[in-house]
Amino acid sequence: MTQKQSDPALQIVEARRREMAIEHLLFGTIRFVSQHHPELLDELDASLDHLWDKGPDDERDDEAVREVARRFIGSLRVER
């Protein structure tokens, strides 16, 4: 195992960078598809009841995760 792989602080930074990159790509993909299929946003909105927080029990907040998703969907609706 290299120093890079074993450094917890670096692992957190790399995880955050991956999260930001994935968020950007996914948001762009949803934006593109929803421009051609506006009903996608309604479908995503309707699916939020099934979204939950996979964190540890003492940190879990399903509704907070759903609210983040609602904000994303709302911002996509504004762009249309």
Q: CA 44, CA 22: separation in Å to the nearest integer?
A: 18
pTM: 0.72
pLDDT per residue as tens digits for the range 24-74: 999 999 999 999 999 999 999 999 999 999 988 999 999 999 999 999 999
Give me 31's structure tokens.
């934006």
CB 49 within 8 A of CB 43: no
Chain centre to alpha carbon of residue 71 = 10
